[in-house]
Amino acid sequence: MDFTLRRIRFARRPEENRERSTDSARRAGAIAIMAGSILLAGLPATGRAATSEAVDRAALRVCADPNNMPYSNEAGEGFENKIAELFAAELRVPVQYTWYPNTVGFIRNTLRARKCDLVLAAPTASELLQNTNPYYRSTYALVYRKNSGLTATSLADPAMESLRIGVVAGTPPATLIAKYDLFDQMRPYHLMVDTRFESATARMIDDISSGEVDVGLLWGPIAGYHVKTHNPPLVMVPIDPHTEKGTRIDFRIHMGLRYNEPEWKLRLNGLIRDKQDEIRAILMEYGVPLLDDQGNPIDAPK
């Protein structure tokens, strides 16, 4: 009798062990799910939403500088303001701005903080944002007084060796200064400034007008705008990228958005494609020197 019971008990042990193993696995899985939920709940809102689109479809929410002509200002006078209005009209929504000076912390405090959904000028991709397809391409330019007698088209001109040349520190033309050994002629201007209180490019333009600087090296959209609006008259000569081998002085400009928003990126790329002629016309109205895909000047809208 005792032997039979022992055999029965022995025969049941593997099944009991399997049931106990299954129960243990279920408990472990439940604990893992609870732990994951607790961990997720502890993440900030931006972390929890990192894989979902946070675009506000009721408005075109634009991150922009309130005082950075010709790009944007609070009065809506910049070409980025006009392009935003163009897109908003196509989307049939109003434009809504989050204003922040285009200096250190701009992306972090606007786009990444989810206060807005679109940056209208992003020259290169970074860990902070992803790019749309490019919507224009431009180049750096020489700017000088119309009555100066200069005819220079590049820094290779021998006349540059006796001129005072304005350069925004840290920009590609600073590389050209080194390439042509013009350090003694360089007059530097700060790159990162709070545009609410200062504009390095506007100050350079004033110095060119007064004769403090003979030639300025400026990014094309900025140069074109000041030449178009400034009095006394100035001359802008876009630098031909084909003549400066080894030094990049022309760039494609994209729009910027957050990562993990594929539907929004697809929509923006569609707008850039469909509205390219209107975008080009706006840019040319502001004097922006445009290049085609081969780096050749574009003289007029299609």
Give 250-259 pLDDT, tens digit per residue: 999 999 999 9
Q: Per-domain residue ranges for the chain?
A: 2-42, 60-136+252-283, 137-243
Which CATH number does 137-243 carry?
3.40.190.10
**Splitting the chain (302 residues) into consecutive groups of 10 residues, what average pLDDT does each group show?**
35 45 46 37 38 82 95 97 98 97 90 96 83 96 94 92 92 91 90 62 90 95 91 92 89 95 97 98 96 89 48
What pLDDT, on the 0 to 100 scale, is given for residue 33?
36
**Euclidean distance between the first and the last CA atom of the chain, given in angstroms as a whole number:** 103
What pLDDT, on the 0 to 100 scale, is given for residue 46?
38
Q: Give 258-263's long-range contacts (Cβ < 8 A, gap of 24+).
A: 258/54, 258/111, 258/112, 258/114, 258/117, 258/129, 258/130, 259/129, 259/130, 260/50, 260/51, 260/52, 260/53, 261/53, 261/54, 261/55, 262/53, 263/53, 263/55
What pLDDT, on the 0 to 100 scale, is given for residue 31?
39
Residue range 60-136+252-283 in CATH 3.40.190.10: yes
What pLDDT, on the 0 to 100 scale, is given for residue 194?
55
What pLDDT, on the 0 to 100 scale, is given for residue 195?
56
What pLDDT, on the 0 to 100 scale, is given for residue 20?
46
Q: pTM of whole model > 0.85?
A: no
What pLDDT, on the 0 to 100 scale, is given for residue 72?
96
Whether the Cβ atoms of residue 132 and residue 268 lie closer than 8 Å to each other: yes
In three-state secondary structure terms, 174 is: helix
Whether the Cβ atoms of residue 238 and residue 220 lie closer than 8 Å to each other: yes
On the question of a common fold for 60-136+252-283 and 137-243, the answer reads yes
What pLDDT, on the 0 to 100 scale, is given for residue 104?
83
